[in-house]
Amino acid sequence: MSRILAIDSGLTVTKAVIFDTSGRQLGVARRNVRQLMPGPRRVERDMMDLWRQTASAIRDVIEATATDASDVLAVAATAHGDGLYLLDKEAQPLGNGILSLDSRATEIIKDWHVSGVDRQSLTMTGQMPHVSAPSALLAWVQQEEPDRFAKIGHVIACKDWLRFCLTNTLGTDRTEASTSFTDVQSQNYSDEALALFGLSALARALPEVSHSAETIGAISNEASRMTGLKPGTPVAAGLHDVTASALGIGAHKPGIVGIVAGTYSINECVSTTPLTDDKWFCRNAIDPAFWNNMAISPASTTNYDWFLDTFCMADRKLAETRGETIHAALAPEIDAALERASSALYHPYLFGSPFGATPSASFFGLRGWHNRGDVLAALLEGIAFNHCQHIDALRGSFPATQARLTGGASRSVTVAQLFADVLAIPMIVTDTDEAAAWGAALCAGAAVGVFESFDADPRDLAATSKTYHPRPERIAHYAERYAAYLNLAETLPDAWQQLNALEALGGRGSNDG
């Protein structure tokens, strides 16, 4: 049986997924990749550990699905975008990879705002630089680690590192290339952009750009030994996971809002012309002359995961002894809370926000009679409101008649309906467990001629999707709560600054005699 292997490497888990050519998922293997936090605002990972875990997942999924390696027609990877993966001039890892949750470049971004670099970047590259953008992180390395900066030979992204491990070829694709250094009009690398950020010395370190569905190499003998894949198996360039997720649910086309509710709040619309605004990134879509307009912040369901990990471990263990998930155990509490009036609101800014890295997460309006269900309901509403803030910005310039939702939260009927009610638009959820991996598989299949093009999805999406329609009485309810949510955020900048100043004070007290 002909099969396609896709790799999807996120911020905490790397996955290997095997599909058949009809789009049916045959198996998935997962490996956790440890995050390293060597200091405040620093979130990293060991690049070799990432490769070892990914290779192990590939071997496992091949064995679990009884796949003959000769039946794998092609391979492609997708992974978290932004952040920074550096190689030296001998193409060896130059320190740890930096994840997109990292915010060490906060002061760089502040300086660029004062000097006007951010506004110039918006006009030139289609986006304002942010704390985990390659431009900001490279500027930080140049300023704080000049010896490391001088050794940079190649500037790549996470999925490009995995591609290199698979094929020994260096390069990237159009979607990843546009994270910092491309001209928004030409969609090609810009020397002026590098100069704007003071990074002209890295012009030769930027990777060659290919189409996501272009064959760029083949599985090497060493990669074959580690993964069980057949040497010579074609590998496609792959793509940024934000774009891959939209492609995997049929949302990478004009007129549709693609929503990924995961670690990041990801909201995107494809356009045929470049329109720029500080509320979104105007980046390259998969095909030339198309743009992917992404409004994002690291403020989605990672908040829910944090709450469960921090406050519900005993409940999780109890649920497991009963043979159910913690999500199912908590669902009745959440559903009941969503149906009653509540003053509780939550801003989901644990790791970042639409306003940058300064804001922090906060509950408001809590009362003594509120219970855990009320707190979780407010938390989930806050996640939906954060997505709504981004999508409202996009819909003003990119009209859409429907939205497609993916990510772990999309599997919850309660959350999917909540999104439909808050956004006041039909919400389509496809029966796609691994949307980003399927997006990568479409590119791999197109690269070897299995599919006519990267967007020629062989599945019947209409037959495997469920549509959640907004309920009129809930639209008005959430409009009022959303207005209060936004109003609170507008009043808090001074408070956020004060809270951050407290963090900078250091310890809580003295240990002196």
Q: Which of 38, 444, 58 is nearest to 238 (CA)?
A: 444
d(CA 20, CA 459): 11
Beta bridge pairs of residue 265: 261, 297
Q: Are residues 36 and 137 in the same domain?
A: yes
CATH code for the domain of 306: 3.30.420.40
d(CA 194, CA 203): 7
d(CA 250, CA 428): 10
User: How far from chain centre, in Å, is Cα 57?
Assistant: 20
d(CA 504, CA 143): 21
Q: Are residues 101 and 134 in the same domain?
A: yes
What is residue 182's predicted lDDT score, i.e. its pLDDT?
A: 98
Give the chain's domain count.
2
Q: Are residues 80 and 167 in the same domain?
A: yes
Q: Are residues 81 and 98 in the same domain?
A: yes
Q: Are residues 423 and 444 in the same domain?
A: no
Q: Which of 463, 462, 405 is nearest to 435 (CA)?
A: 405
Q: Are residues 132 and 62 in the same domain?
A: yes
DSSP H or E stretch at residue 295 = strand 291-297
Query: Where a domain ends, among 429, 445, 475?
Result: 429
pLDDT in tens for each of the 513 residues of the chain?
899 999 999 998 999 999 999 999 999 999 999 999 999 889 999 999 999 999 999 999 999 999 999 999 999 999 999 999 999 999 999 999 999 989 999 999 999 999 999 999 999 999 999 999 999 999 999 999 999 999 999 999 999 999 999 999 999 999 999 999 999 999 999 999 999 999 999 999 999 999 999 999 999 999 999 999 999 999 999 999 999 999 999 999 999 999 999 888 999 999 999 999 999 999 999 999 999 999 999 899 999 999 999 999 999 999 999 999 999 999 999 999 999 999 999 999 998 899 988 899 999 999 999 999 999 999 999 999 999 999 999 999 998 988 999 988 888 999 999 999 999 999 999 988 899 999 999 999 999 999 999 999 999 998 989 999 999 999 999 999 999 999 999 999 999 999 989 987 766 554 544
| Widest pairwise Cα distance in the chain | 75
Asked whether residue 328 is assigned to any structural domain, the reply reads yes
Asked whether residue 479 is assigned to any structural domain, the reply reads no
Structure tokens belonging to residue 93: 């890892």
Asked whether residue 292 is assigned to any structural domain, the reply reads no
The SS3 call for residue 256 is: strand
8 A C-beta contact, residue 319 and residue 68: no
8 A C-beta contact, residue 390 and residue 335: no
d(CA 383, CA 480): 16
Asked whether residue 280 is assigned to any structural domain, the reply reads no
d(CA 355, CA 499): 16
Beta bridge pairs of residue 143: none
Task: Give residue for tokens 């939260």.
Answer: 409
Q: Which of 287, 283, 77 is nearest to 179 (CA)?
A: 283
d(CA 28, CA 415): 24
Q: Are residues 188 and 235 in the same domain?
A: yes
Q: Which residues contact 397 (CB under 8 A, 6 or more apart)?
A: 275, 277, 293
Q: Are residues 425 and 439 in the same domain?
A: no
Sheet containing strand 256-261, strands side by side: 281-284, 291-297, 265-271, 256-261, 402-406, 427-430, 465-468
What is residue 506's predicted lDDT score, i.e. its pLDDT?
A: 65
Q: Are residues 119 and 148 in the same domain?
A: yes
Q: Are residues 365 and 441 in the same domain?
A: no
Interstrand relation of 362-364 and 345-347 (parallel, antiparallel or unpaired): antiparallel
Asked whether residue 271 is assigned to any structural domain, the reply reads no
Query: Where a domain ends, among 379, 411, 429?
Result: 429
Q: Domain range for residue 420?
A: 302-429
Q: Are residues 459 and 348 in the same domain?
A: no
8 A C-beta contact, residue 291 and residue 285: yes
Asked whether residue 349 is assigned to any structural domain, the reply reads yes
The SS3 call for residue 370 is: coil
Asked whether residue 496 is assigned to any structural domain, the reply reads no
Where does residue 182 fall: left (phi above 0), alpha (psi -120 to 50 degrees), or beta otherwise?
beta
Asked whether residue 385 is assigned to any structural domain, the reply reads yes
Distances in Å between the alpha carbon of 156 and those of 6, 138, 173?
A: 19, 11, 10
Q: Are residues 51 and 98 in the same domain?
A: yes
Q: Which of 248, 275, 260 is nearest to 403 (CA)?
A: 260
Q: Is 47 exposed, middle or buried (0-12, 13-18, 19+ CB in 10 A)?
A: buried
